[in-house]
Amino acid sequence: MDTDCHHGDGTQDIYWNDPNILYISIHQDGRTLYPGSVHLDEVGGPSAVGKTVNIPLPSATSEEGFLFALDEIVLPILKDFSEGFWA
């Protein structure tokens, strides 16, 4: 999981086609910050669809907003991934 201001496009590229890796990036909306590369439809390559998750947040998102994204988006995805991985 990549949690900084910029989209982790390089890391995303590394794991794009790996079905065994779940890559989640929480970052500022790319329309307002470099590298401007992220789109919600970037979900992984042909062999790893759904293993890339991008969560672009508005500029100046509060701690409350960040924690909401973690609780409502990231934790359920991690739970689903770990259950499928260990099944």
* Residue-level pLDDT, tens digit, the chain, 87 residues: 888 888 888 899 999 999 999 999 999 887 888 777 767 889 999 999 999 999 999 989 999 999 999 999 999 999 999 887 665
**The total number of structural domains that make up the chain:** 1
* pTM for this model (two decimals): 0.86
Distance CA 29, CA 54 (A): 10
Domain span including residue 45: 2-86
Distance CA 37, CA 64 (A): 25
